[in-house]
Each structure stands twice: as structure tokens, then as C-alpha cells.
Amino acid sequence: GAVVSQHPSWVICKSGTSVKIECRSLDFQATTMFWYRQFPKQSLMLMATSNEGSKATYEQGVEKDKFLINHASLTLSTLTVTSAHPEDSSFYICSAGSRTGYNSPLHFGNGTRLTVT
């Protein structure tokens, strides 16, 4: 089955630094990737939608200068949390969909737990 690899699985960084999270589709071309944020015991909050070769579309209330998304190829999207602060600590999950799979399920990475100290 389709596999999405997300790296790193966890990261601890100091306040003010930036952190990059990678999301790769390993065996299919991901025309669209989604980035979610999940707080403890809560549902997934969609942060942004990235389409290969174009700018990401951010959901309302998500700072695009804070959460930089790049989708430079059909197999890789990155989320960079810039100037991280403790309130950015969360579980970030990416998912990917293919151009042929509108009625197909999204495939999810295993998530990245970010802790900002």
C-alpha cells in the first residue's frame, strides 16, 4: 500500500530556532499534501494544503510566515516552523493524496512531535 514517510518523528528545539519537518510519499506521486496539527486528546486541525509547484493554501488563523510550506516535487513537502515558541509544541501530521485518487483515502505520515523549550 501507499506509504508516507514523515521525518523526524520527534524533535526538541530551543525557543527562537526553526525546525523543518519532511513528508515524503514513497511509492506514489502526491500532487497534494496536507499538514495538520493535533493537540492532546483532540482532533486534527488542518493547517494548510500544498500543491506541487504552487504556493500553499493556509487555513484561516494559521500564520503563513510562521509555518512555511514547500512542495517542490511530487514526492516531498516540507513544513518549517520558524522562530518556534513553546506554544508551537504539538503533534504535526502530514498526509498525501494523488491526482488519480479523489475518492481514495489520504495516506498519513506517522507524525512529528515538536517540543519547544
Partner 1 sequence: AQSVAQPEDQVNVAEGNPLTVKCTYSVSGNPYLFWYVQYPNRGLQFLLKYITGDNLVKGSYGFEAEFNKSQTSFHLKKPSALVSDSALYFCAVRPDQAAGNKLTFGGGTRVLVKP
The answer to whether 68 contacts partner 1 (rule: CB under 8 A) is no
Cell of 21: 519537518
The answer to whether 41 contacts partner 1 (rule: CB under 8 A) is yes
Instruction: Supply the minimum distance, in Å, between the C-beta of residue 8 and partner 1.
Output: 13
Chain centroid to Cα 101, Å, comes to 19
Give all strands (DSSP E) within the chain, no chain letters. 4-7, 10-13, 19-25, 32-38, 44-51, 57-58, 67-73, 76-81, 90-97, 107-108, 112-116
> How many whole angstroms separate alpha carbon 64 and alpha carbon 48?
9
Instruction: Supply the minimum distance, in Å, between the C-beta of residue 16 and partner 1.
Output: 26
Query: How many residues bind to partner 1 according to rule CB under 8 A?
Result: 27
Nearer to partner 1 among residue 87 and residue 103 (C-beta)? 103
Residue ranges that bind partner 1, judged by CB under 8 A: 4, 6, 9, 32, 34, 41-44, 46, 49, 91, 93, 95, 97, 101-111, 113
